[in-house]
């Protein structure tokens, strides 16, 4: 009877270390990006709450921006400035849009920048 060597199966130590490093990298990216996207959802919710306010269509653009900024301040959204908000008259109502960028440091001198653009029609 002839004996054949048994094939080894499984990953090597280097393979396991590389796999764990990749998993750690993606977890780090996810943990760093989650707050940015969570703030984006808060901005969308603040815009939707403006949409539900029927008295807002008669307000000036400065008052609309102030209301939005107060709501964002209550929600602790730091990435949106007054200059990122635009208010335009459209038909019977107004269009409120927010365009902003958020930058987050990942590791060392490596940053990630994410752009957001959200808009809502108020008073139509």
How buried is residue 115: exposed, middle or buried, by Cβ count under 10 Å (0-12/13-18/19+)? Answer: exposed
Measured between alpha carbons, how far is 34 from 108 in angstroms, rounded to an integer? 19
Q: What is the pLDDT of residue 56?
A: 80
DSSP assigned state of 7: P
- What is the full per-residue pLDDT of the chain (124 aa) written as tens digits? 566 667 767 778 898 999 999 999 999 999 999 999 999 999 999 999 988 887 887 788 899 999 999 999 999 998 899 999 999 987 778 899 999 999 999 888 999 999 999 999 887 6
DSSP assigned state of 10: S
For tokens 């001198």, name the residue: 109
Contact between 32 and 104 under an 8 Å Cβ cutoff? The reply is: yes
pTM over 0.85: no
Q: What is the pLDDT of residue 113?
A: 94
Q: What is the pLDDT of residue 43?
A: 95
């Amino acid at each position: 009877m002839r004996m054949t060597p048994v094939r080894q199966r499984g990953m090597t130590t280097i393979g396991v270390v590389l796999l764990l490093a990749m998993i750690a990298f993606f977890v780090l990216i996810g943990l760093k990006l989650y707050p940015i996207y969570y703030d984006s959802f808060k901005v969308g919710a603040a815009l939707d709450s403006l949409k539900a306010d029927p008295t807002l269509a008669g307000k000036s653009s400065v008052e609309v921006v102030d209301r939005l900024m107060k709501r964002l301040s209550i929600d602790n959204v730091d990435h949106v400035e007054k200059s990122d908000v635009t208010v335009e008259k459209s038909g019977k109502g107004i269009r409120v849009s927010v365009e902003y960028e958020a930058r987050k440091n990942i590791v060392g001198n490596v940053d990630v920048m994410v752009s957001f653009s959200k808009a809502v029609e108020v008073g139509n």
